Amino acid sequence: FGIFSLVLFLSIIGVTAFAFNHHPAGGMETIDPEKLEQTAPFDHPGVHQIDEDTYEVVIVAKTFGYDPPEIKVPAGKKIIFKVASADVSHSFSIVNTNVNMMVIPGQINTKEYTFDKPGQYLVICNEYCGTGHHFMKTSIEVI
Ligand code: CUA
């Protein structure tokens, strides 16, 4: 009876997960990590101005760093961060802000942020990604 209950339980979970799309990528934009760096916009990582008040920053996270290595954006403008991983799970976390994104291979993560003050902002990887994890960081210069 124990085994029967277990099988029944797992079947119910499996069926409902499919029926309601309860997998981690549900509702998110997806991308093939192996083709990431050939796929727009990730084939051109960097800061792109969209209009007078909006900038998009396209970032590729990969072991153990971020591409582009330098990010410079203006204060007081809407910055749309678009991040994807070229290999394993990382994060893109801007210290002292509410930008703290998991970067899971196969998914595109987007977050809007406006920097109020110019300065140097530290970006770190919060997700253990291998031996170089602790060195995975970059900074954003807000001008
Ligand atoms: Cu990338 Cu930790």
71: left (phi over 0), alpha (psi -120 to 50) or beta: beta
ipTM above 0.90, yes or no: yes
Residue 22 reports pLDDT greater than 70: no
Query: What is the per-residue pLDDT for 19?
Result: 59
CATH superfamily name and code, 33-142: Cupredoxins -  blue copper proteins (2.60.40.420)
More confident call, 24 vs 118: 118
Determine the distance separating the centroid of ligand 1 and the alpha carbon of 115, expressed in angstroms.
Answer: 24
Domain assignments of the chain as residue spans, ordered by start:
1-27, 33-142
Residue 77, both tokens: 């403008």
Determine the distance separating the centroid of ligand 1 and the alpha carbon of 104, expressed in angstroms.
Answer: 11
Model pLDDT for residues 107-139, shown as the tens digit of each residue: 999 999 999 999 999 999 999 999 999 999 999
Residue given tokens 């099988």 in the structure block: 7
Please provide the average confidence, as pLDDT, over all residues in the chain.
90
Strands 46-51 and 54-62 come out as antiparallel
Residue 105, both tokens: 């291979």
